[in-house]
């Protein structure tokens, strides 16, 4: 007797930008950036099992209002992987949305990357590196980085990747906080003042890692400034930044204990904010 195929699970690891240096505006609405990607151990969760066709259900604390149709990045990724699979392949996909949307931590991009990994396994599709990268790049600038979900320098639009080891932050306890405001990426980039403040110098360490999108993001959502000040004030926090284009900010801590103590204080100070504990991969 042949066993029924078991559902497969994949984590869509939350992304943070340890640095995001904007160097110039490019044609077509993009910008040339230099960024330092890192990933948390946790994130959204995707589960898939074989089905007659492609379908998506979404649950979790941030599921409300999300499309389950063909415009969803998970469904787009699934359709692109299916082109490389045997005929007749389908999947019933469930996305548990744990991360807030439009929050600078790569939720949609990480979901799409996780869908590529998950469905390649489910359908036993053997994609070469070039094909996988092409699929990811078509879905979004952050999706190639989210595919590997490993620490990397991203250049160009963020999709030209160079893997890197950062012992100083590896496995660091991290606290992510979002003040409950969605900050669309486009307007934040449009608010960049156009000044090139210099290249990313990874070797200089955390003091030289900046986020050039912080001022325009704070102009749109002043709560980000309040949040950064609150995280900076936490004992044991050795590195605090806004991630991506906001509004999520994060702090890296010296220990799990100091992170947990900070989480309690932040929740007490701002009970309406999203607060999430993890560690860097």
Token representation of residue 26: 């490019």
Q: Kindly provide the residue ranges of all beta strands, DSSP E only, lying in the chain, ordered along the sequence.
A: 8-25, 31-50, 54-59, 91-96, 152-156, 160-163, 173-178, 237-242, 249-253, 274-279
CB 224 within 8 A of CB 217: yes
For the chain, how far is it from start to end, CA to CA, in angstroms? 40
> DSSP string of 17-42?
EEEEEEEEE-GGG-EEEEEEEEEEEE
Burial of 192: CB neighbours in 10 Å, binned 0-12, 13-18, 19+: middle
Separation of alpha carbons 48 and 50, rounded Å: 7
Identify whether 111 is a catalytic site residue. no
Q: What is the dihedral of CA 49, 131, 85, 90, to 10 degrees?
A: 40
Instruction: Report the chain's C-alpha Rg in angstroms.
Output: 19
Query: Does the active-site annotation cover 15?
Result: yes
- Long-range CB contacts for residues 71-76, cutoff 8 Å, separation at least 24: 73/108, 73/109, 73/111, 73/112, 73/115, 73/139, 73/140, 74/46, 74/111, 74/112, 74/115, 76/112, 76/139
C-alpha to C-alpha distance for 49 and 8, rounded to whole angstroms: 6
Choose the catalytic residue: 42, 44, 111, 142.
Answer: 142
- As annotated, the active-site residues are 15, 142
């Amino acid at each position: 007797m042949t066993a029924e195929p078991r559902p497969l699970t994949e984590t869509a690891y939350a992304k943070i930008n340890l640095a995001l240096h904007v160097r110039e505006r490019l044609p077509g609405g993009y910008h040339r950036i230099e960024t330092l990607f890192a990933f948390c151990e946790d994130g959204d969760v995707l589960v898939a099992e074989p089905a007659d066709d492609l379908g998506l259900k979404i649950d979790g604390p941030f599921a409300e209002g999300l499309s389950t149709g063909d415009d969803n990045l998970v469904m787009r990724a699934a359709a692109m992987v299916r082109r490389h699979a045997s005929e007749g392949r389908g999947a019933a996909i469930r996305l548990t949305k744990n991360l807030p949307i439009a929050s600078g931590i790569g939720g949609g991009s990480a979901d799409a990357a996780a869908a590529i990994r998950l469905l390649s396994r489910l359908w036993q599709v053997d994609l070469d590196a070039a094909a996988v990268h092409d699929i990811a790049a078509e879905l979004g600038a952050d999706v190639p980085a989210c595919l590997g979900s490993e620490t990397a320098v991203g250049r160009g639009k963020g999709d030209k990747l160079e893997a890197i080891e950062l012992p100083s932050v590896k496995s660091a306890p991290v606290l992510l906080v979002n003040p409950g405001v969605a900050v669309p990426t486009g307007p934040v980039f449009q608010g960049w003042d156009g000044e090139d403040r210099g290249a990313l110098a990874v070797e200089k360490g955390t003091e030289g890692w900046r986020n050039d999108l912080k001022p325009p993001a704070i102009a749109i959502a002043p709560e980000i400034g309040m949040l950064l000040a609150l995280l900076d004030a936490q004992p044991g926090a050795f590195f605090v930044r806004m991630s991506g284009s906001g509004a999520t900010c994060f702090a890296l801590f010296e220990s799990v204990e100091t992170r947990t103590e900070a989480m309690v204080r932040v929740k007490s100070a701002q009970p309406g904010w999203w607060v999430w504990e993890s560690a860097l991969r």
